């Protein structure tokens, strides 16, 4: 398989409310993480940082324009690969150890990462067999109800365990925008990893259902509106009634 050039690795898409989607088009859609850059007055916010196979700092100038807080929605390999490039790193306390010690097994790089997840391989010297996320110990641990403050806009941490124990969503009430991570998005959800929990997953979905969302920016697949949010979660809850 051919390798991509580093300058082609990332793709940027401007959304409303100072939000920019950064993603990695040569990774197949199911494995391709959405990174969300949010412009603030005093600092910017980055929700997730991709696989880390090409430097975000070197190839996406947007992330170096201002002080930046890099939040991990959770610590699977596709979401935290470039966290080590940022000084200010936040993660829920339940996955703090994973961000500091991201082994191939703990981040799901083993078994998910093979050459088959790419349409073009990352630039040399990348190798799927030895790919590993770099350690990036958190500088701030998050808990449910905490606030990430950019000066003129604030994001409430909603602990959403189930996909993984320290999964979080970020809720900006002023714009009714939810950054949901991998707990819910418009595609096949993953409920069976080594640290998934069915009862937690159900409770998280019930909680998210009631949010008055206008737009959801998820960890994978395209963004969607409030009606789609209700429809996705309603269908999911109907399929998981036994956990009620």
Q: Can you tell me the distance from the alpha carbon of 206 to that of 188, in angstroms, rounded to the nearest whole number?
A: 18
* Span from 59-67, 68-76, 81-89, 139-147 in contact with Zn ion (CB under 5 A): 68-76
* Span from 16-24, 145-153, 169-177, 178-186 in contact with Zn ion (CB under 5 A): 178-186
Query: Whole-number minimum distance, CB 34 to Zn ion, in Å?
Result: 9
* Span from 4-12, 72-80, 121-129, 134-142 in contact with Zn ion (CB under 5 A): 72-80
Q: Can you tell me the distance from the alpha carbon of 210 to that of 231, in angstroms, rounded to the nearest whole number?
A: 12
Q: Are 198 and 241 contacting, i.e. CB atoms less than 8 angstroms apart?
A: no
Q: Are 136 and 106 contacting, i.e. CB atoms less than 8 angstroms apart?
A: no
- Supply 15's token pair: 């959304």
Task: Choose which of 182, 205, 213, 224 interacts with Zn ion (CB under 5 A).
Answer: 182
Check residue 217 for interaction with Zn ion (CB under 5 A): no
Looking at the chain, list the stretches that DSSP marks H as alpha helix, in order from N- to C-terminal side.
Answer: 56-59, 77-80, 96-100, 109-112, 198-209, 226-239
- Supply 119's token pair: 């349409």
Check residue 48 for interaction with Zn ion (CB under 5 A): no
String of contacts with Zn ion for each residue 8-47, x by CB under 5 A: ----------------------------------------
List residues binding Zn ion (CB under 5 A). Answer: 76, 78, 182, 219
């Amino acid at each position: 398989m051919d390798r991509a050039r580093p300058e082609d690795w990332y793709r940027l898409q401007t959304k409303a409310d100072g939000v920019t989607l950064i993603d990695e088009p040569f990774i197949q859609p199911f494995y391709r993480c959405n990174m969300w850059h949010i412009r603030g007055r005093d600092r910017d916010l980055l929700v997730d940082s991709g696989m880390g196979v090409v430097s975000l700092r070197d190839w996406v100038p947007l992330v170096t324009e201002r002080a930046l807080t890099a939040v991990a929605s959770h610590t699977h390999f596709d979401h935290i690969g470039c966290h080590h490039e940022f000084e200010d790193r936040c993660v829920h306390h339940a996955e703090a150890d994973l961000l500091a010690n991201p082994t191939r097994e703990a981040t799901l790089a083993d078994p998910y990462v093979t050459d088959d997840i790419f349409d073009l391989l990352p630039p040399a010297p990348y190798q799927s067999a030895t790919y590993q996320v770099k350690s990036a110990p958190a500088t701030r641990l998050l808990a449910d109800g905490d606030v990430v403050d950019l000066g003129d806009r604030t994001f409430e941490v909603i602990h959403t365990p189930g996909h993984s124990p320290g999964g979080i969503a970020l809720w900006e009430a002023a714009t009714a925008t939810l950054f949901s991570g991998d707990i819910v998005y418009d595609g096949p959800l993953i409920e069976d990893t080594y640290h998934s929990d069915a009862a937690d997953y159900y409770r998280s979905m019930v909680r998210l259902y009631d949010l008055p969302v206008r737009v959801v920016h998820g960890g994978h697949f395209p963004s969607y509106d409030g009606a789609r949010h209700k429809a996705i979660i309603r269908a999911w809850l109907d399929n998981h009634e036994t956990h009620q």
